[in-house]
A = this chain, B = another copy of it.
């Protein structure tokens, strides 16, 4: 294994330190609990928190900032954040209006967020509620979940919910309803050309032959829908995009946001080739594209491959997607 790391056990802590050092005006942290939170003062909004295992960067500590998340709880690589970190994060960012947890559907994450909610209720506050995000159409259940997994579509939930809370100061119940509405309208599917390698294990999480693709791969390298022979971009992107479109289903006349999400080791050039193909497929189906997001948004360490997410839009979603977010991950 060659990675730009020191000791495997220190990977997450050193990464979070680098994140905060690089954004001294925007971020604070409780490093011993791996909580990253907004430094800028804010008031009169429901706080929004997400959390999961690390290794999916920029998801989610890199999305903490005005107009998106108020805090993120990071676990070790591919391991859920701890119960007490979630409890502390909620207390830290609550401004008296309550806290909404946005959680991608994985058994470990759900369990810890659920226990944290119970503990906070027992302790008398703050008010919390949770929305589980499950946008991955690849498989019904998986080695890591009961029910569908949450993947890159979660970024649309963070963005829309974060903007609504920041700009309109709605209450916890309304914000939860909005988050569920976004989740109901987003679907995703991805594929891997190459497995990720966790720092702890040091060798590929799964074996994939030189002429094989894992269709519907999970964010931790867990199995997808089907192992298939290598296909050119046109064919593999059509396969996953069709699966996404047919699932909701998205229909002629719908307006959508598209996310082409790299899994970590794939160059952005290949993601734009994928975006071209998605545009052609949707044009054929007379599904209108409002906005296209192409980058590494929710990754699996150094996995090669990508996912396609579609979000069916209404006027409110469109407005909230377009409102600015001041997040640490950026170019210029």
Determine whether the beta carbon of B276 is less than 8 Å from that of A21: yes
Among residues 82 to 136 in chain A, which have CB atoms less than 8 Å away from a CB atom of chain B?
none
Determine whether the beta carbon of A57 is less than 8 Å from that of B269: yes
Contact status of A272 and B327, CB under 8 A, knowing A3-B193, A6-B232, A68-B332:
no
Determine whether the beta carbon of A279 is less than 8 Å from that of B21: yes
Chain B proximity of A93: nearest CB distance (Å): 20
Determine whether the beta carbon of A4 is less than 8 Å from that of B330: no
Determine whether the beta carbon of B14 is less than 8 Å from that of A273: yes
Determine whether the beta carbon of B4 is less than 8 Å from that of A266: yes
Of B194, B273, B325, which one neighbours A332 at CB under 8 angstroms? Answer: B325
Determine whether the beta carbon of B21 is less than 8 Å from that of A236: no
Among residues 261 to 282 in chain A, which have CB atoms less than 8 Å away from a CB atom of chain B?
264-277, 279
CA distance A210 to B11 in the complex (A): 20
Contact status of A3 and B292, CB under 8 A, knowing A17-B276, A18-B275, A276-B18:
no
Contact partners of A330 in chain B: CB under 8 A = 295, 330-331
Chain B proximity of A330: nearest CB distance (Å): 7
Determine whether the beta carbon of B22 is less than 8 Å from that of A292: yes
Interface 9-mer from A39-47, A241-249, A299-307: A299-307
Determine whether the beta carbon of B265 is less than 8 Å from that of A265: yes
CA distance A299 to B331 in the complex (A): 14
Contact partners of A274 in chain B: CB under 8 A = 4, 18
Among residues 39 to 97 in chain A, which have CB atoms less than 8 Å away from a CB atom of chain B?
54-55, 57-58, 62, 68
CA distance A213 to B4 in the complex (A): 11
Contact status of A269 and B6, CB under 8 A, knowing A279-B22, A332-B68:
no
Determine whether the beta carbon of A295 is less than 8 Å from that of B329: yes
Of B193, B295, B301, B302, which one neighbours A331 at CB under 8 angstroms? Answer: B295
Of B21, B275, B297, B306, which one neighbours A292 at CB under 8 angstroms? Answer: B21
Interface string of A1-22 (1 = CB under 8 A from B): 0111111000100111111011
CA distance A143 to B69 in the complex (A): 47
Determine whether the beta carbon of B22 is less than 8 Å from that of A193: no
The 4 closest A-B pairs by CB, nearest first: A18-B276, A18-B272, A22-B292, A4-B270
5 examples of A-B residue contacts, CB within 8 angstroms: A2-B193, A14-B233, A18-B273, A62-B268, A327-B332
